[in-house]
C-alpha cells in the first residue's frame, strides 16, 4: 500500500512516498524555487538493494503543477510506481483548519471551499496548500485524498484554554482564539510516548516539546491536547529562532508609536527579527552554543532565555495536568541539543524530574529515556516524523470514511 504525503509551500513542495506495509520511505524530495528562472528538484530513493540513492534536476517550474509533473515523471521512470493509480491515497498537509476541521478529512469540493475560507487565518500557507490539493484533484480524481491540519490536534482544548481575554465578539466575528500548530508532530510523539511507556494513549499525560526553528509545547491529558503554547498564529509561546513568543502585547503599539513603524514592519520584527536571532544575531542553535562557549554574552543570554521559557511552560503544564507521565523532547534542538535539554530540566527535582547525564549525553537517533530510574516523570527523546503521521492518518481516514 503506497501513500504519498505532500506539503506544498509558497515556492516549494516537499514530498515522501511511503510503503505502508513496512513504513519505509520509497522516495522523497523537495522541489524548490517554483516561479524563479531556475528551479530545482532534489530527490532520494531506495534502489532494489535497499540502498539510498540521490538525484537532482534543474528546470524552470512556472507553478506547482509543473514541479509535481516532474516528480511523477521521475518516480515512474525509477519504477517506484507504474502510474498514479498505484497510490492508495494522498495526504496533504494543511496549515490552518480553523474550527471547521478537528480531524483528518477526506477532500471533496466542499472541503476545498472551507479550506479556502480559512485563508484569513493562514494567509501564507493555506493558498499554496490549496494549490497542491487542486492540482492533484485534477490529475488523479479517483485517488482518495486527505487533508491533515496542523491545527487539528489543538481542537480538543477546552474553552478556558483556547479563549483570549479579549472582547468576546472578536472570537464570534473574527474567530480569534488559540489554535496551536505543529499538531501533527505533537500528536505523533505523544502516541509514540504512550507506546514507549507501554501505557494506553488514553491514560497518558505528557508534555511534548517540539524545539526546532519554530518551537512549541503541548499539554496532553489522557492522549488529548488540553493546552498548547502557539496561539492564533505561530508567534506566541516559546522563544523561537526568529519569533519572540510570549511578551507584553503593549510593546506592539509602543514600538509603533515611538519608532513610527507600520503594522507590516512590526509583524516582520516580531516574526523574523526577534527570538534567538534578535538577542544574539543568529537563529542556529549549534552556532549559538559555539558562540556562548567562546564567551559571547548575548549568545549565553539567548540560551538562558530559551531554556527559562521552556522551564516555565513545563511548570505551568505540570499544574494543568496534575500527574505527568513524561516530558518529550523532539525537533532539531529537542532531539540533538544535549546541554539545552539539561538546562530546561535543571532544578526540577521537586516536581519529579531528574535527568541522567550519561543517558542524556549518549548520541542516538532512537527513541530513548534520558531521566534517571528514580525520576517519577520520565524524560524522553522521540524523533518526530510528521510525514509518517500524515501517511498513517491518511490511511486511517480513507479506511473509515
Ligand atoms: P525546523 O523548525 O526548520 O524544521 P529543525 O527542527 O530542523 O527546524 O531544527 C533546527 C534547529 O535545530 C536549528 O536551530 C539547529 O541549529 C538545531 N540543531 C540541529 N542539530 C543540533 C545539534 N546537534 N545541537 C544543537 N542544535 C541543533
**Dist CA 75 CA 17 (whole Å):** 9
Asked if pLDDT for residue 339 goes beyond 90, the answer is: yes
pLDDT at 299: 98
pLDDT (tens digit per residue) in 210-238? 999 999 999 999 999 999 999 999 999 99
Q: Measuring from each residue's beta carbon to the nearest atom of ligand 1, which residues come in under 6 Å?
A: 212-214, 241, 284-286, 289, 331-333, 336-337
* Ligand 1 pocket, mutate which of 188, 333, 387 (most atoms under 8 A from CB): 333
Going from the Cα of 86 to the center of ligand 1, the distance in angstroms, rounded, reads: 35
Q: pLDDT-derived band of residue 10, with 50, 70 and 90 as boundaries?
A: confident
pLDDT (tens digit per residue) in 226-280? 999 999 999 999 999 999 999 999 999 999 999 999 999 999 999 999 999 999 9
pLDDT (tens digit per residue) in 367-390? 999 999 999 999 999 999 999 999
Asked if pLDDT for residue 85 goes beyond 90, the answer is: yes
**Dist CA 128 CA 124 (whole Å):** 8
Has 150 been annotated as catalytic? yes
Going from the Cα of 213 to the center of ligand 1, the distance in angstroms, rounded, reads: 6
Ligand 1 atom showing the smallest separation from residue 211 Cα:
6
Going from the Cα of 233 to the center of ligand 1, the distance in angstroms, rounded, reads: 21
Please indicate whether residue 49 or residue 291 has the higher confidence score (pLDDT): 291
Going from the Cα of 53 to the center of ligand 1, the distance in angstroms, rounded, reads: 24
Query: Which protein residue has the closest C-alpha to ligand 1 atom 19?
Result: 332
- Going along the chain from its start, the domains and CATH numbers come out as 2-149 (3.30.420.40), 199-386 (3.30.420.40)
Residue among 22, 150, 267, 357 flagged as catalytic: 150
pLDDT at 124: 87
pLDDT (tens digit per residue) in 152-207? 999 999 999 999 999 999 999 999 999 999 999 999 999 999 999 999 999 999 99
Amino acid at each position: 500500500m503506497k501513500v504519498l504525503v505532500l506539503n506544498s509551500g509558497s515556492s516549494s513542495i516537499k514530498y515522501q512516498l511511503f510503503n505502508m506495509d513496512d513504513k519505509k520511505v520509497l522516495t522523497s524530495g523537495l522541489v524548490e524555487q517554483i516561479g524563479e528562472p531556475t528551479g530545482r528538484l532534489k530527490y532520494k530513493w531506495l534502489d532494489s538493494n535497499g540502498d539510498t540513492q540521490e538525484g537532482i534536476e534543474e528546470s524552470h517550474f512556472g507553478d506547482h503543477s509543473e514541479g509535481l509533473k516532474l516528480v511523477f515523471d521521475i518516480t515512474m521512470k525509477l519504477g517506484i510506481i507504474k502510474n498514479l493509480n498505484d497510490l492508495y491515497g494522498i495526504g496533504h498537509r494543511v496549515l490552518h483548519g480553523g474550527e471547521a476541521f478537528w480531524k483528518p478529512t477526506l477532500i471533496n469540493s466542499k472541503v476545498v471551499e472551507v479550506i479556502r475560507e480559512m485563508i484569513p487565518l493562514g494567509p501564507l500557507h493555506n493558498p499554496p496548500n490549496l494549490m497542491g490539493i487542486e492540482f492533484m484533484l485534477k490529475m488523479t480524481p479517483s485517488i482518495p485524498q486527505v487533508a491533515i491540519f496542523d491545527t487539528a490536534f489543538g481542537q480538543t482544548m477546552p474553552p478556558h484554554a483556547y479563549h483570549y481575554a479579549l472582547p468576546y465578539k472578536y472570537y464570534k466575528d473574527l474567530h480569534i482564539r488559540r489554535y496551536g500548530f505543529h499538531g501533527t508532530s505533537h500528536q505523533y510523539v505523544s502516541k509514540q510516548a504512550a507506546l514507549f511507556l507501554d501505557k494506553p494513549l488514553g491514560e497518558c499525560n505528557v508534555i511534548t516539546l517540539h524545539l526546532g526553528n519554530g518551537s512549541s509545547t503541548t499539554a496532553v491529558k489522557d492522549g488529548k491536547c488540553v493546552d498548547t503554547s502557539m496561539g492564533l498564529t505561530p508567534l506566541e509561546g516559546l522563544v523561537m529562532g526568529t519569533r519572540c513568543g510570549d511578551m507584553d502585547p503593549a510593546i506592539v503599539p509602543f514600538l509603533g508609536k515611538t519608532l513610527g513603524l507600520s503594522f507590516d514592519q512590526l509583524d516582520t520584527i516580531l516574526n523574523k527579527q526577534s527570538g534567538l536571532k534578535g538577542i544574539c544575531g543568529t537563529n542556529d542553535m549549534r552556532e549559538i552554543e559555539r558562540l556562548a562557549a567562546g564567551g559571547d554574552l548575548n549568545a549565553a543570554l539567548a540560551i538562558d532565555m530559551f531554556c527559562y521559557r521552556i522551564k516555565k511552560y513545563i511548570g505551568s503544564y505540570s499544574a494543568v495536568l496534575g500527574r505527568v507521565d513524561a516530558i518529550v523532547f523532539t525537533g532539531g534542538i529537542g532531539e540533538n541539543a544535549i546541554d539545552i535539554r539539561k538546562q530546561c530540566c535543571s532544578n526540577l527535582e521537586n516536581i519529579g524530574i531528574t535527568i541522567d547525564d550519561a543517558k542524556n549525553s549518549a548520541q542516538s537517533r532512537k527513541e530513548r529515556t534520558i531521566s534517571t530510574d528514580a525520576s517519577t516523570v520520565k524524560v524522553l527523546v522521540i524523533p518526530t516524523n510528521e510525514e509518517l503521521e500524515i501517511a498513517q492518518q491518511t490511511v486511517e481516514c480513507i479506511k473509515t470514511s
